Structure 1
Amino acid sequence: MIKKTSLIKKTSKAFLLTGFVLTILSSIALYFYTKNLLQNEVEEELYSTEARVEAALNSNRQLFSLPPVVEVKSVQNLLPKVLKDTIIYDPSQDEMELFRELSTYKELNNEYYHITVRTLVVESEDILMALVFSNITIFVIAFVFLFYFNTTRNLRLWKPFFDNLEQMKTFSLTKKDPITLSDSEIIEFSELKDQIMLFTNKVRDDYESLKQFTEDVSHEMQTPLAIIQAKIDNIINEHEINDKQFEQVTSIQKDIQRLKQLNKRITTLTKIDNNQFTNIETINLTDLIDEKIESFKELQFVNLVHNSKKKLFVSMDVYLADMLINNLLSNAIKHSKNKEEITLVTMDNRLVISNFGEEALVHPENLFLRFYRESRANQSTGLGLAIVKKICDLYGFKISYQFEVDHHVFSIDFSK
């Protein structure tokens, strides 16, 4: 997964990283450049002193030495020039000091001389470190100032973008109020605002059209279905029909009921998608389950058993709570044998319902998909469990399915 970070933090990190790298590189460059300059100055002074000594000897002046700064000796042979560092004891400081030494051999007035010139090397490491520290300090102060200045300026420039982003987060298709976006002097942000306005208005118009279409279709389907149902009832009540015709008419009635149920469930799913269930109440789900069980028992479903370990209260819409329990019970009954027991257990923030099953589902991952049916033998719409899942998603409940010891087990965790 990609690690997420805010735009300002991301740009600030890049700015600080760049500043850190520049500070280090400039400090290293300053260190070696200054060190080279100091060494060149020392060597230039040594060559200057050596030239003066050579000029004095060339003028037949008296041979002299001033250890450890200048030493002149007569020698028998000429050797190559040597430029090096050396350490000499300084009695005034009572410590060893670093000197830069130039040792040359010259032939002057038909005599060979060994000329040694030394100069005390200033404690350049202290100077260099002071320069580097000063450089780092200046850079840090400059970058801190530029960082806060840049961050403040970026926040001001990006403010319309962030404001519009917050508006988009609160955008809802069900709200009638138009979205209010901030304009900006930045061309790209202004164009983005215009496109968002255009997009949200188009989406809202499409949503309203789709919502109206769904409601119209749902409403218009009810009338012809009711007319068909009435005509079939008239045929059964007013005309003599044989057994085969009766079976066909009965099959048509079942299809009509299935269409009515399908229409109702599609409408419910659409309303859930459109967040039209906004009436939240605290519901005693334990009592609701008991009422539902009594209703099913009146229809000869006497194998329902409810074990309540603790009263279960849930905050949700009353209609959706009724549909949630009704769909779970209908699904369990539909896929159970008549005499097999269906068990419901309610406890604190949890509902478990199980029914007998001969074998596990082949594709349990598809169980909550719309219009999915594991077997085409039953006449279900394939929307019951899809509605259950949609209701759970709406309120943040967690539903799960397992096959345990010849039982299909559905469990809902109501704790958010």
Structure 2
Amino acid sequence: MIASTIALYFYTKNLLKNEVEEELFSTEARIESAIKINDISFSLPPVIEVVEVKELEELFLKDTLIYDPSQNEDEVFRELSTFKRINGKNYRITVRNLVVESKDILIAIDVSYFIIILLVFLFLFYSNVEGNRKLWFPFFKNLEAMKNFSVKSEKQIVLVDSDILEFQELSNEISLLTNKVQDDYQNLKQLTEDVSHEMQTPLAIMQAKIENIINTNKIDDDQYKLFSSLQKDIQRLKQLIKRLTLLTKIENNQFINIDKVDIAASLGKTIQNFKELFNLEIGFQYKHPLFVSMDPYLVEVLCNNLISNAVKHDVKKDEILVSCSHNSMIISNSGEKQIENPEKLFNRFYRESKSNQSTGLGLAIVKKICDLYGFEISYKFHDARHIFTVNFRI
């Protein structure tokens, strides 16, 4: 655009110059013809001057400045001076014509090019924006649908068709993939539920038969220890299945019974149950109720798992401390050293203790419950105590 502007400037300037000179020659020819016919010489200074001279010379063209009274300034004129012998007399015929100044030409070209560039820019910008919007609309619409997609939902993903071949192929592949993922998830969910349900019955039968053998047959101490160990393993397996089923239900968001529940009251009941079962010292402090909106059953699970975890890992058998504030609860128990990998503490089946009493799922369930309701759970080791804090963000 810059190069064409420069070229246009010189081309226009040269064109106007040629036009002015052509007009000068035309005017000079008319004056010469008039003198020949009428033998009259006339002048209109400074535009036309006809003067008799002694000798003839070569014509010449030049630019000259002449004062313009209408503009009160000097203007550039193009001047043509020719020498002719007419009717036996020598004449110098001078014709002048006002020329367009270079500054005016440059301003006109710059303004016109600026307007053209602006219009072209606006047109291209609008056309590109609108074109890209229409072109990419199916892509971004489908991207939004993918962001909102969940394997837990039974609804299939709804995608927008596109005239672009690549976008349409992508939509088709996404539809096939999400449908397969949903089917696989539902099949896995159903398998987990079926296995959990079906395993409860044979485990209960096995446990009943072992109890029957112990009660109805004379067995020695070694046999009694063996059967007792089997009972504990069966009970642990039942507990494991129960907790895995609970985790699956939490992940599937199957607990939809939301109610205002007093965490402090639920903690009090759980603490009383543990005191009766294990004859423990559990200190409980709270000043006022702590109401939270969540499923009542999950409140019991949350409190039970945290206190159970404290009981199982209270190595020094010191007092377990539980407290409630206006928006959080804290459970702490004694410990010999800090947990080596606290970042893995809430992972499934992670256990630093080799105790058979733990399934490695209690804290994972606690973390899932907190994530479900937007609570924040944290762990720290301070003054030889393991401290768990749940912030309810009320």
Query: TM-score when scaled to structure 1?
Result: 0.71
Out of 371, 374, 379, the residue aligned to residue 357 of structure 2 is 379
CA contact (8 A) 2:267 2:303 kept: yes
Q: Aligned runs of 1:54-69 on 2, under 5 Å?
A: 61=56, 69=64
After TM superposition, the structure 1 stretch with the greater mean CA deviation from structure 2, 280-289 or 144-153, is 144-153
CA contact (8 A) 2:261 2:293 kept: yes
Tell me: CA distance 1:89–1:318, structure 2 relative to 1, closer, same or farther (3 Å).
farther
Tell me: CA distance 1:121–1:272, structure 2 relative to 1, closer, same or farther (3 Å).
farther
Deviation at 1:196, TM superposition (A): 2.6
Are 1:287 and 2:242 matched, yes or no? no
| Equivalent position SS for 1:402 | strand
After TM superposition, the structure 1 stretch with the greater mean CA deviation from structure 2, 157-166 or 274-283, is 157-166
One-letter amino acid matched to 1:227: I
Identical-residue share of aligned pairs (%)? 52
CA contact (8 A) 1:34 1:128 kept: no
Tell me: CA distance 1:165–1:234, structure 2 relative to 1, closer, same or farther (3 Å).
same
Are 1:32 and 2:6 matched, yes or no? yes
Out of 268, 277, 299, the residue aligned to residue 246 of structure 2 is 268
Deviation at 1:139, TM superposition (A): 2.6
Q: Tell me how far apart the structure 2 counterparts of residues 36 and 68 of structure 1 sit (CA, whole Å).
A: 17
Out of 158, 162, 172, the residue aligned to residue 194 of structure 1 is 172
Are 1:401 and 2:383 matched, yes or no? no
Are 1:182 and 2:160 matched, yes or no? yes
Out of 106, 123, 148, the residue aligned to residue 126 of structure 2 is 148
In structure 1, the residue matched to 2:29 is none
Note the alpha carbon deviations across 1:85-115, whole angstroms, 9 max, x for none.
xxx9979778799999xxxxxxxxxxxxxxx
Q: Aligned runs of 1:285-364 on 2, under 5 Å?
A: 285-337=263-315, 339-364=317-342
CA contact (8 A) 1:309 1:345 kept: no
Tell me: CA distance 1:274–1:188, structure 2 relative to 1, closer, same or farther (3 Å).
same
Deviation at 1:367, TM superposition (A): 0.8
CA RMSD of aligned residues (A): 3.7
Q: Tell me how far apart the structure 2 counterparts of residues 318 and 280 of structure 1 sit (CA, whole Å).
A: 7
Out of 197, 210, 213, the residue aligned to residue 235 of structure 1 is 213
Aligned residues: 348
Q: Tell me how far apart the structure 1 counterparts of residues 77 and 217 of structure 2 sit (CA, whole Å).
A: 131
Deviation at 1:39, TM superposition (A): 6.8
Tell me: CA distance 1:135–1:319, structure 2 relative to 1, closer, same or farther (3 Å).
farther
| Equivalent position SS for 2:318 | coil
Tell me: CA distance 1:353–1:270, structure 2 relative to 1, closer, same or farther (3 Å).
same
Out of 199, 222, 234, the residue aligned to residue 244 of structure 1 is 222
Query: TM-score when scaled to structure 2?
Result: 0.75
CA contact (8 A) 2:378 2:390 kept: yes
Deviation at 1:36, TM superposition (A): 4.4
Deviation at 1:154, TM superposition (A): 3.5
Q: Tell me how far apart the structure 2 counterparts of residues 397 and 312 of structure 1 sit (CA, whole Å).
A: 14
CA contact (8 A) 1:30 1:132 kept: no
Q: Any unmatched runs of 5+ in structure 2? A: 23-53, 79-96
Tell me: CA distance 1:235–1:36, structure 2 relative to 1, closer, same or farther (3 Å).
same
Q: Tell me how far apart the structure 2 counterparts of residues 261 and 356 of structure 1 sit (CA, whole Å).
A: 26
Out of 100, 104, 109, the residue aligned to residue 131 of structure 1 is 109
Tell me: CA distance 1:65–1:150, structure 2 relative to 1, closer, same or farther (3 Å).
closer
| Equivalent position SS for 2:278 | coil
Tell me: CA distance 1:124–1:283, structure 2 relative to 1, closer, same or farther (3 Å).
farther
CA contact (8 A) 2:13 2:105 kept: no
Q: Tell me how far apart the structure 2 counterparts of residues 232 and 389 of structure 1 sit (CA, whole Å).
A: 36
Rg bigger for which structure? Answer: 2
Q: Tell me how far apart the structure 2 counterparts of residues 132 and 328 of structure 1 sit (CA, whole Å).
A: 79
Q: Tell me how far apart the structure 1 counterparts of residues 66 and 287 of structure 2 sit (CA, whole Å).
A: 95
One-letter amino acid matched to 1:29: A
Q: Tell me how far apart the structure 1 counterparts of residues 368 and 99 of structure 2 sit (CA, whole Å).
A: 84
One-letter amino acid matched to 1:33: A
Tell me: CA distance 1:202–1:65, structure 2 relative to 1, closer, same or farther (3 Å).
closer
In structure 1, the residue matched to 2:389 is 411
Note the alpha carbon deviations across 1:88-146, whole angstroms, 9 max, x for none.
9979778799999xxxxxxxxxxxxxxxxxx9996545543443343233333333234
Tell me: CA distance 1:125–1:324, structure 2 relative to 1, closer, same or farther (3 Å).
farther
